């Protein structure tokens, strides 16, 4: 793995996206529109309760889908095979994608958070910048999960179907619907293995507390560590030789 090849890959992915403005639009607009819908259907009290965690979760969903389809396209078009027959590290590929999508995740988080705070009247006790930070890390986790899961899909149809498999159980178990300590014991244990649980806790913490404590940084660190582990696992699924 070399920095030059990783950065060239990131630049290439961004250049591809530049030629596809509609996708960029969807990445930014979809989570923002969902937040607006949420503000519309919920009472003010409920919006303040559910708004911040969902502001972290929507980017994760969108980035998951975009990444799993983008990397699957590399597999089916033969470009991944071509790259792996060249002096290209598996890490160059995976981290190149994650650098490109991180940049996108930052733009996405800034727009979603900006609109939510300035136009939709969302309010948190902590810093709005920490909300943006958590949303970016969540988006990156979605990217990492999408990269990993795309290894198990052979078609775009399958890749899209992995979303309910990979994300909905996390959504049910992360604490948003039922607090994790009220879950059946086995499910509570499982919830501690899922990145979204820590992402939810981190976002809740910013929503409830004026200043972040160690617990917040630990939660955010666990999410980031899980994202990096998923990226490494994603690199591990790449095969230079295939049947």
Partner 1 sequence: MASGGSTSGVAAVSVSGLTVVRGTVTAIDAISFDVPSGQVTGLLGPSGCGKSTLMRAIVGVQIVASGDVTVLGAPAGSPGLRARVGYVTQAPSIYLDLTVRGNLRYFATILGAADDAVEQALDDVDLRGEADRLVGQLSGGQRTRVSLASALLGSPDLLVLDEPTVGLDPVLRRDLWALFHRLADAGTTLLVSSHVMDEASRCDRLLLMRDGHLLADATPTELLARTGRSDIESAFLSLVEGGAT
Residues near partner 1 (CB under 8 A): 4-5, 8-9, 11-12, 15-16, 19-20, 77-79, 81-88, 92, 240-243
What's the token pair of residue 9? 């890959």
Exposed/middle/buried for residue 104 (C-beta within 10 Å: 0-12, 13-18, 19+): buried
Beta carbon of residue 222, minimum distance to partner 1 (angstroms, whole number): 34
Please report, in angstroms and rounded to a whole number, the separation of the first and last CA atoms in the chain: 25
Distance CA 109, CA 234 (A): 24
Query: Would you say 22 or 185 has its CB closer to partner 1?
Result: 22
Exposed/middle/buried for residue 45 (C-beta within 10 Å: 0-12, 13-18, 19+): exposed
* Cβ count near 241 (within 10 Å): 7
Beta carbon of residue 15, minimum distance to partner 1 (angstroms, whole number): 6
Beta carbon of residue 70, minimum distance to partner 1 (angstroms, whole number): 10
Distance CA 131, CA 111 (A): 12
Asked if residue 47 lies in contact with residue 39, where contact means CB atoms within 8 angstroms, the answer is yes
Query: Would you say 77 or 155 has its CB closer to partner 1?
Result: 77
Beta carbon of residue 170, minimum distance to partner 1 (angstroms, whole number): 31
* Cβ count near 151 (within 10 Å): 17
Query: Would you say 49 or 73 has its CB closer to partner 1?
Result: 73
* Cβ count near 231 (within 10 Å): 22
Beta carbon of residue 228, minimum distance to partner 1 (angstroms, whole number): 23
Q: Which residue has the tokens 């994790």?
A: 180
Beta carbon of residue 93, minimum distance to partner 1 (angstroms, whole number): 10
Residue 219's H or E segment, with its range, is helix 214-237
């Amino acid at each position: 793995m070399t920095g030059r090849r990783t950065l060239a890959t990131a630049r290439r992915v961004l250049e591809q996206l530049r030629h596809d403005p509609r996708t960029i639009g969807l990445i930014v607009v979809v989570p923002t529109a969902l937040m607006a819908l949420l503000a519309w259907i919920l009472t003010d009290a409920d919006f303040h309760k559910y708004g911040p965690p969902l502001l972290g979760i929507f980017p994760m969903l969108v980035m998951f889908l975009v990444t799993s389809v983008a990397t699957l396209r590399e597999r089916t078009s033969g470009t991944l095979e071509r790259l792996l027959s060249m002096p290209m590290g598996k890490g160059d590929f995976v981290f190149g994608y994650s650098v490109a999508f991180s940049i996108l995740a930052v733009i996405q988080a800034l727009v979603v958070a900006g609109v939510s705070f300035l136009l939709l009247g969302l309010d948190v006790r902590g810093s709005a910048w920490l909300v943006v930070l958590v949303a970016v890390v969540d988006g990156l986790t979605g990217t990492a999960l999408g990269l990993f899961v795309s290894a198990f899909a052979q078609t775009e149809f399958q890749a899209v179907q992995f979303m309910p498999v990979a994300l909905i159980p996390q959504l049910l178990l992360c604490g948003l619907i039922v607090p994790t300590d009220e879950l059946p014991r086995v499910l509570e244990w499982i919830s501690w293995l899922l990145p979204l649980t820590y992402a939810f806790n981190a976002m809740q913490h910013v929503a409830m507390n004026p200043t972040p404590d160690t617990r917040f940084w630990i939660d955010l660190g666990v999410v980031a560590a899980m994202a990096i582990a998923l990226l490494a696992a994603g690199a591990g699924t790449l095969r230079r030789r295939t049947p």
